[in-house]
Amino acid sequence: MQQLEALSRLIAQHTEADGIVETAIPRLSLVRVSKPTEPMLGVQQPSLCLIAQGSKQVILADEIYDYGPARHLIASADLPITGQVLDASPGVPYLSLKLDLDMNALAALVMEVPIASSSASPSKSCGKAICLSRTDPKLVDAALRLVSLLDTPDDIPVMAPLIEREILYRLLRGDQAAKLRRMLMPESRLSQVNRAIAWIRQNYHRPFSIDHVAREARMSTSSLHEHFREVTAMSPLQYQKQLRLQEARRLILSEALDAASAAHRVGYDSPSQFSREYRRLFGAPPIQDVSRLKTEPAAFAPASA
């Protein structure tokens, strides 16, 4: 597809080195990686991730999603994921974009866009908060025009919102339209689970009871367990644990905290329990894991996008 080749050239032009680049266009990030990476954990926010070149694997609990230029990923909740670039080289790097979903703009557009007869019905659409779809040429064209605005920055304030609106429109006409609409329905199961997720993210360092989270989500405890796992592929407590360990890793790496201090900061009372669970998730004890990250940062790509 010539559009993907053009999009690859543009992303390469605006990403001189490996890593993730926050652009002058609100909510738009670009990613470049020049070699296959180790698995990297992170939190995927509600967003559209579109690969222009290369391929990637995203893991949500036990669910595995492999995708490349022919497909795109939509996330509809904040999710702890593992991301790994599979196909990349210095000559042909992995290149992608991530557009965070503007919920206000999406909600306004939903009121104007009729439900397409070709859209998947709620019973047939993907139930997880991460799903893959085939990338329509019209979506690629809109993404190409959005990234092209980086070459004419004076056009960004006026043109970027229009093109972003078009991208959201394309998504609402695609096979994940039903899921995107359910995100905006206050009493839908997806919205209720998102309320539970938001509360856990704000209070991950504190002990909580499932009853309390269920009240925050306006669900019964049994319904919370069932639908939380359906959306995130994990239980609320497993979700909390992943958030705690990822934040502890960030504190050790970026703020130079020792493992015991980081463990206490994120809510662990037992350093030994923290060390066991950290090693189980990241494959090495805290000091060894962080040393590896510091000595070979290029081997680790952002988990999202």
Q: Is 24 helix (H, G, I), strand (E, B) or coil?
A: coil
Same domain, 17 and 141: yes
Q: For the segment 65-78, what is each residue's pLDDT rounded down to a tens digit?
A: 999 998 999 999 99
The answer as to whether 121 is a domain residue is yes
SS3 per residue for 97-145: EEEECCHHHHHHHHCCCCCCCCCCCCCCCCCCCEEEEECCHHHHHHHHH
Same domain, 145 and 217: no
The answer as to whether 269 is a domain residue is yes
CATH number, domain of 258, equals 1.10.10.60
Question: What is the C-alpha end-to-end distance of the chain, expressed in Å?
Answer: 20
The model's pTM is: 0.87
The closest of 23, 173, 54, 47 to 103, measured between CA atoms, is 47
The answer as to whether 276 is a domain residue is yes
- Quote the number of domains for the chain: 3
The answer as to whether 305 is a domain residue is no
The answer as to whether 243 is a domain residue is yes
Residue type, 241: K
Higher pLDDT, 295 or 163: 163
Structural contact between residues 263 and 246, judged by C-beta atoms closer than 8 angstroms: no
pLDDT of residue 124: 46
pLDDT of residue 187: 80
CATH number, domain of 141, equals 2.60.120.10
Same domain, 128 and 272: no
Same domain, 9 and 141: yes
Q: For the segment 179-190, what is each residue's pLDDT rounded down to a tens digit?
A: 899 888 888 888
Same domain, 83 and 46: yes
Give the strands of the sheet with 94-100, arranged side by side: 19-22, 28-33, 94-100, 47-53, 71-75, 130-134
pLDDT of residue 245: 95
Contacts of 244 by beta carbon, 8 Å cutoff, 6+ apart: 204, 205, 266, 267, 268
| CA angle 19–31–150, rounded 5-degree value | 115
Same domain, 9 and 127: yes
At which of 119, 151, 183 does a domain end? 183
The answer as to whether 165 is a domain residue is yes
pLDDT of residue 292: 82
Same domain, 91 and 226: no
Whether residue 125 is predicted with pLDDT greater than 90 in this model: the reply is: no
Give the number of other CB atoms < 10 A from CB of residue 84.
18
Structural contact between residues 264 and 275, judged by C-beta atoms closer than 8 angstroms: no
Residue 57 belongs to what domain range?
2-183
The closest of 100, 53, 56, 55 to 74, measured between CA atoms, is 100
Structural contact between residues 63 and 233, judged by C-beta atoms closer than 8 angstroms: yes
Asked whether the CA dihedral 106, 111, 112, 118 is positive or negative, the reply is positive
pLDDT of residue 114: 80
The closest of 62, 64, 69, 66 to 11, measured between CA atoms, is 69
Whether residue 122 is predicted with pLDDT greater than 50 in this model: the reply is: no
Same domain, 43 and 165: yes
Same domain, 178 and 193: no
Same domain, 155 and 212: no
Q: For the segment 38-94, what is each residue's pLDDT rounded down to a tens digit?
A: 888 889 999 999 999 999 999 998 899 999 998 999 999 999 999 999 999 999 999
The answer as to whether 50 is a domain residue is yes
The answer as to whether 250 is a domain residue is yes
Structural contact between residues 130 and 87, judged by C-beta atoms closer than 8 angstroms: no
Same domain, 203 and 63: no
Same domain, 23 and 125: yes
> Residue 123 — pLDDT band, cuts 50, 70, 90?
very low
